[in-house]
Structure 1
Amino acid sequence: MQTRLIRVGNSQGIVLPKKLLQQYHLSGEVELRPTPEGLLIAPVIRPVRQGWAAQMQAAMADGQEPEGELLEGFSDAKFEEDEWQW
């Protein structure tokens, strides 16, 4: 497949066909990597929970409890007192 470089402001770019964008799951941010064969365009994939472990360790180092804010105001005692209906 061939395409032309087009002027985009003071730079140049290319238009990628919709079929290629869908086939290679490209949208939003992409990563450009030079290779011996040419330029590789790859999707940027970020882990959903990236950085959570470091944030948890920093919070615990500051003396925060892991469940502190998440369970604030929740008491399992009330849950145990209520009768269950089947």
Structure 2
Amino acid sequence: MNTRLIRVGNSQGIVLPRKLLQQYHLVGEVDLQPTAEGLLIKPVVKRRRQGWDERFQQALAQRPAPEGELLEVFSDDSFEDTQWEW
């Protein structure tokens, strides 16, 4: 497939056909990599919520889970049915 360079301000660019954009999932930001054969254009895939899993694991490691404390509160027999309002 041949195309022409077009002037874009003080630079030059190319227009990619819609079919190629869809086929290679090129939307928004792309990565340009020079190779021996020419220029490789790749889609940039940004992971949503990047790094959340690592931060969550760090937070868990800093403090042990409060499961024992919660069970103590709920297993307390001092609460009586008379304290409920119906």
Please give the range of the TM-score, normalised by the shorter of the 2 chains.
0.5 to 0.7
User: Unpaired runs of 5+ in structure 2?
Assistant: 66-86
Please provide the CA RMSD for this pair: 2.1
Determine the C-alpha separation between the residues in 1 that align with 2:9 and 2:61: 49
Matches within 5 A, 1:25-44: 25-44=25-44
Q: How many residues align?
A: 64
The one-letter code sitting in structure 1 at the alignment partner of 2:47 is P
**Other-structure match for 1:13:** 13
Give the TM-score taking structure 1 as reference length: 0.61
Identical amino acids, percent of aligned pairs = 69
> Is 1:23 matched up with 2:23?
yes
Determine the C-alpha separation between the residues in 2 that align with 1:14 and 1:43: 16
The one-letter code sitting in structure 1 at the alignment partner of 2:37 is E
Aligned-pair CA distance for 1:22: 0.8
Query: After superposition, what is the alpha-carbon deviation per residue over 1:50-85, rounded to whole angstroms, capped at 9, x for unaligned?
Result: 11134436656887x8xxxxxxxxxxxxxxxxxxxx
The one-letter code sitting in structure 1 at the alignment partner of 2:5 is L
Query: After superposition, what is the alpha-carbon deviation per residue over 1:12-58, rounded to whole angstroms, capped at 9, x for unaligned?
Result: 00000011111111111111011111100110012223111344366
Determine the C-alpha separation between the residues in 1 that align with 2:5 and 2:22: 21
SS at match of 2:42: strand
Deviates more, 1:47-56 or 1:19-28: 47-56
